Amino acid sequence: MKRFIELSHILQDGAGAYPGLPQPIIGPYLDHEGSRSRYDGKAEFYLGQIQTVTNVGTYIDSPFHRFRDGQDLSSIALDRVAGLPGIVLTADPGTMRPLSLSAKKTELAGRAVLVKTGWDRLWGKDEYAKDAPFLGIDFVRLLVDAGARLVGVDFLNVDDTSDPARPVHTRLLKEGTLIVENLTNLSALPPDGFLFSAVPLMVAGGASFPVRAYAELPDR
Q: Convert the pLDDT of each residue in 3-46 to its tens digit.
A: 999 999 999 999 999 999 999 999 999 999 999 999 999 999 99
Helix/strand/coil percent split, the chain, to 5: 25, 25, 50
**41 and 122, same domain (yes or no):** no
Q: Which of 148, 17, 48 lies closest to 89 in space, CA to CA? A: 148
Q: Mean pLDDT across the stretch 123-130? A: 95
**178 and 202, same domain (yes or no):** yes
**130 and 46, same domain (yes or no):** no
**206 and 148, same domain (yes or no):** yes
The distance of Cα 212 from the centroid of its chain, to the nearest Å, equals 8
pLDDT of residue 207: 98
Tell me whether strands 194-199 and 84-90 are parallel, antiparallel or unpaired.
antiparallel
Q: What is the pTM of this model?
A: 0.96
Instruction: Look over the chain and give the mean of its residue pLDDT values, rounded to a whole number.
Output: 96
What percent of the chain clears pLDDT 70, i.e. is strictly above it? 99
Q: Mean pLDDT across the stretch 107-119? A: 97
pLDDT of residue 212: 98
In one-letter notation, the amino acid at residue 41 is G
Where in the sequence is the domain holding 183, given as residue range(s)?
3-16+53-217
DSSP assigned state of 35: H
Q: Which of 80, 62, 79 lies closest to 71 in space, CA to CA? A: 62
**170 and 194, same domain (yes or no):** yes
Q: Mean pLDDT across the stretch 99-107? A: 91
Sign of CA dihedral 21, 11, 206, 137: positive
Which pLDDT band, with edges at 50, 70 and 90, does 83 fall under? very high
The Cβ of residue 129 has, within 10 Å, a number of other Cβ atoms equal to 15
**87 and 134, same domain (yes or no):** yes
